[in-house]
Amino acid sequence: LLTLPFDILKIDRSLLMMLGEMREQTSCSPGEPCAILGAIVSIASALGAPIVAEGVETEAQLTNLKASGVAYVQGFLLGRPDDASKILASSTSAVATVGL
């Protein structure tokens, strides 16, 4: 990872689908989606890379991501696909930031 040229780490929708099924819990067992998310966040932090989670569709997913320290998300929960001109006309920002 140290030698790969990237500027942002993306979390795939498939992991988020598993997170959306989870209830809030205080700890994660190895191999559970929340533990994997925590490991991804730790690696990104160690590399100084921002994270974007793709495919956020539920409040539960958003809550889990926010609690894990993921700052950037995209998905149907925040807005549906549309023409760029319509999006720009109705929004002051193309990126939603969790918790700000």
pLDDT above 80 (res 99): no
CA 49: distance to chain centroid? 13
- Residue scoring higher pLDDT (92 or 75): 75
Distances from the Cα of 86 to the Cα of 17, 75, 95, angstroms: 28, 17, 15
Q: Angle, to 10 degrees, between the axis of helix 33-47 and the axis of helix 59-68?
A: 40
CATH 2.60.40.740 describes domain 9-97: no
Q: Kindly report the average pLDDT of the chain as a whole number.
A: 80
pTM listed for this prediction? 0.72
Q: What would the two tokens of residue 19 be? A: 């997170």
DSSP tag of 3: T
Q: Among 24-28, 36-40, 93-97, whose mean pLDDT is lowest?
A: 93-97
Does residue 1 surpass a pLDDT of 80?
A: no
Whole-number pLDDT of residue 4: 84
Distance CA 12, CA 75 (A): 11
Q: How many residues does the chain have?
A: 100
At 35-63, the pLDDT tens digits run: 888 899 999 999 999 999 999 988 888 88
Q: What pLDDT does 2 receive?
A: 77
